[in-house]
Chain A
Amino acid sequence: MERWVRCAASVDRGVDGIGRAVGWLTLLMVLVGSYNAIMRYSGRFFGWNLASNAYIELQWYLFSLVFLLGAAYTARQNRHVRVDVLYGRLSTKGRAWVDMLGTLLLMLPFSIFALVVSWPSVRNSWIVREASPDEGGLPRYPIKAMILVAFFLLVLQGLSSLTRTIAVLRSDGDEPPEPGDGLPEEEGSVDGALGMTGPSAEGAGGDPGRGI
């Protein structure tokens, strides 16, 4: 078990690293989006046209990267939205049961299914080196391949979370086990994987983003 938990911890670290990188992409996206907007005005009012399909496509490529690569990170940070009417009242072990069964029967099969059905179309796109239908656009095949990367990361993250929930279920009592070596600090431990779901637990500090 210990070894599995250590594997899970390294998956988590990798996913966290990707998450940090994805953060910077949001900033880049804002800058590219603003550039595109300004260029379209200047094109309209002054006749300069510096807007190009490449930049316009770059904007939604970045958007795609943010949520495709960010999905596993969001799962790791336990931020995929839940309905915690009942879940919020369960004990740590109760939650671990929900999470273990959910990951095993829903998330992992769904992610694998997504990989299977996406494979042929991504493969085709890659073989023909699919390009943008618009002049000066960006190649399509790398961004389509990101669909596979996204669901592959989700499979890894699912396995990691499965390991953690099993560790919780096997531990004695209702307390999370001692964080083994290599486990990331506080949030990373079992609590982070299962812990709070909505604003219920720590209202203020918890997650002010909910309810945008």
Chain B
Amino acid sequence: MQEWLAPAMFVFAFALIFTGYPVAFSLGGTALIFSFLGVAMGFFDWALLFAFPERVFGVMSNFVLLAVPFFIFMGTMLEKAKLADDLLTTIGKLFGPLRGGLGLAVVFVGALLAAATGVVGASVVAMGLISLPVMQRYGYSTALSTGTICAAGTLGQIIPPSVVLVVLADQLGISVGDLFVGSLIPGLSLAGMYAVFVAGVAVLNPDAAPALPASERDIPWKTLLRQVLLVLVPPLLLILVVLGSIFAGVATPTEAGALGATGALLLAAIHRRLTMKALRATMDETAKLTSMVVFLLIGSTAFALVFRGLNGDLWIEELLTGLPGGKVGLLVVANLAIFILGFFIDFFEIAFIIIPLLAPAARILGIDMVWFGVMIGLNLQTSFLTPPFGFSLFYLRGVAPKEISTAQIYKGVLPFIGIQLIALLLIMLFPEMVTGLLD
């Protein structure tokens, strides 16, 4: 009977989560219900639960998690400063007259926004509102344009700095700086692969990605170049300072995040967009998202406390280290589990519930944890693209004109999901892509 309780708890928690009640409280409630069951059956000690406030206090004083609100603040502020709109408009004009140029502009701006803001929803919405109509007007294939926009928007997950990577590093017990460094080349390669794909389509099927007529560029070259510089330099500087100081080891990610948030305020002020309304919206969003993330963590902490009390951790560990194929077996199971769960649930849930179960087994099998983290990050990023519940798709659906069917959007992301899987395979075959920049 006893050995059934932990697996039952796991299944029960997932069943509750799928009812749609907030995950944090579903997990907390599950913890409570199963601690009662455990006590009633006589093999769970109440005293264990009094560790809960210490765990909460541990979250409060966790220096790594402190980076989460900073990066949220930075990204939201830049979003409210309409950074994406400026970039898309000017870069679009610059690249537009090339064949496939608009698509490339979307990928390029997507990568840039990823490093600056990392807010997937905001990037996709901006691209859907600004670039999509232009692409439609000049005859881009609907599948290509929607797919490119959805995919480029998700780059924020994997190109550092990113809140996902901060949370992953915390859960895997590795340094955030290392995970940022490790994900840089995979993230940029991914953007590169998107660009190659778009360019390839433009070459092989010119009708799908035509060049814009010169008349679309309504301003002289000189003015355009000046605009490009004006809009490109400030965010590039900000990215350089934030990432540079982390990579050079001068600042911790938390410090760099705080400076980045201040930098975002300055950038908004320079563009005269630091209005009271924008500031309030940024603060409100930061408060809500931070609470959401941390309470999810608190709920899963309660869950983990009881799950461990019922020896669930041993059960999972045995299960995962005893897989046929050892390391490879674990990697296959981990990737499949995350990929499949990614169809239905959000990456924060995966990070807080699944990762703590996978991490000890990975460590026992001697897997490089930074590499493991990047692989998980890449896999989670894919979940933003997979129908029917990929967030990127939802956001684009929300802003795309009605003539574009949901099926077309799904069709559009398919090649990009393929690219994701290739990238995942690449970092498995060539771990140096991750570890190369680390000492």
Contact = CB atoms under 8 A, between A and B. Distances in A.
A40 B255 contact: yes
A85 interface: yes
A23 interface: yes
B31 interface: yes
Given A33-B70, A211-B392, A107 B29 contact: yes
B283 to A, nearest CB: 3
B395 A27 contact: no
B255 A33 contact: yes
Interface stretch (B3-11, B52-60, B357-365): B52-60
B72 interface: yes
A212 B75 contact: yes
Contact of B262 (A34, A79, A209): A34
Interface string B145-189: 000000000001000001110000000000000000000000000
Interface string B95-123: 00000000000000000000000111110
Given A19-B287, A106-B28, A121-B54, A80 B23 contact: yes
A208 B79 contact: yes
Interface residues of B, number: 92
B397 A71 contact: no
B283 A26 contact: yes
DSSP class of B's interface residues: helix, strand, loop or mixed?
helix
Interface string A41-74: 1000000000000000001100110111011011
B289 A107 contact: no
Given A74-B291, A77-B288, A110-B32, A117 B22 contact: no
B181 to A, nearest CB: 19
Interface string B52-93: 111011001111011001111101100100000000000000
Contacts of B63: 60
B125 A106 contact: no
28 contacts: A24-B283, A26-B290, A29-B258, A30-B261, A30-B262, A34-B258, A37-B259, A40-B255, A59-B258, A79-B292, A81-B292, A86-B18, A99-B21, A102-B22, A106-B16, A110-B32, A114-B28, A117-B49, A117-B52, A120-B50, A203-B397, A204-B395, A204-B398, A205-B398, A208-B125, A211-B121, A211-B395, A212-B119
